[in-house]
Copies of this chain bind each other. A is one copy, B any other.
Amino acid sequence: MMRDLYLHRDSERGMAGTFDWLVDEVEELGDALNGSDKEELEKEFADVIAWLASLANITGVDLEIAAVAKYNHKCPKCGCSPCECTF
């Protein structure tokens, strides 16, 4: 969905600029976490995953494939589900 909506703009902006936007959105999410507006919090979560997807699109990474490759229903460190790491 983000590819359809924004790839043309994300490609123009480029990797560094898109990463900077992601960092800004994470900061805004941090601010929303300290507030009490649930709707605002949900919007900030939406923005972070949106910008993360934009960044993935312009770097040729499929976010879902990458996530499932590392976290495939088990913890990549202990191999258990749920995670049983003791550290």
CB distance from A85 to the nearest CB of B (A): 8
Docked-complex contact B43 and A66, CB < 8 angstroms: yes
Collect the chain B residues with CB atoms within 8 Å of residue A60's CB.
38
Q: How many residues of A contact B (CB 8 A)?
A: 47
In angstroms, Cα B74 to Cα A5, docked, is 7
Tally of this chain's copies: 2
Chain A positions 38 through 81: 1 when the CB is less than 8 Å from some CB of chain B, otherwise 0: 10011101111110100110011101011101110111000001
User: Smallest CB–CB gap between A69 and chain B, Å?
Assistant: 7
Determine which of B26, B38, B43, B67 lies in contact with A70 in the assembled complex, contact meaning CB atoms within 8 Å: B43
Q: Which 5 A-B pairs have the closest CB atoms?
A: A46-B70, A42-B66, A46-B66, A45-B66, A46-B67
